[in-house]
Amino acid sequence: MTAWGITDCGESRNQNQDAFHLEVLHENTRGMLAVCDGMGGANSGNVASLVAVNAFTGNLRSALGEDMEIGDLRNALLEAVKEANRQVYEKARSDMAYYGMGTTLVSAVATSDLAVVANVGDSRAYIIDDEGIERITRDHSVVEDLLYRGELSHEQAKSHPSKNLITRALGTENEVSPDIFSVDLRPGDFLLLCSDGLTNVLEDMEILYEVLHGGDPSSCCERLVAMSNERGGPDNITIILLSV
Distant-in-sequence, close-in-space partners of 203: CB < 8 Å, separation ≥ 6? none
Between vectors from CA 240 to CA 63 and to CA 36, what angle results, nearest 5°?
Answer: 65
Task: Determine phi and psi for 29, rounding to 5 degrees.
Answer: -110, -5
Nearest to 139 by CA among 107, 177, 167: 167
Q: In what order do the strands lie in the sheet with 2-8?
A: 2-8, 237-243, 190-194, 124-129, 132-135
Per residue in 115-142, pLDDT (tens digit) is 999 999 999 999 999 999 999 999 998 8
Pairing of strands 237-243, 2-8: antiparallel
Q: Which amino acid is at 3?
A: A
242 contacts 3 by C-beta, under 8 angstroms: yes
CA distance 153 to 144: 10
Each residue's pLDDT expressed in tens, for the chain with a length of 244 residues: 999 999 999 999 999 999 999 999 877 778 999 999 999 766 699 999 999 999 999 999 999 987 889 999 999 999 999 999 999 999 999 988 898 899 999 999 999 899 999 999 999 999 999 999 999 999 998 877 777 676 667 776 676 766 678 899 999 999 999 999 999 999 999 999 999 999 999 999 999 999 999 999 999 999 999 999 999 999 999 999 999 9
Q: SS3 for 176?
A: coil
Cα dist from 115 to 65, 79, 181, 182, 236, whole Å? 15, 17, 8, 6, 26
User: Looking at domain 2-243, which of 3.60.40.10, 3.40.630.30, 3.40.50.150, 2.40.110.10 is its CATH number?
Assistant: 3.60.40.10
Hey, is 152 helix, strand or coil?
Answer: coil
- Residues 48 and 46: their CA atoms lie apart, in Å, by 5
For the chain, the domains span 2-243
In angstroms, the CA 5 to CA 154 distance is: 28
The SS3 call for residue 20 is strand
The Cα–Cα gap between 169 and 173 comes to 8
pTM of the entire predicted model: 0.94
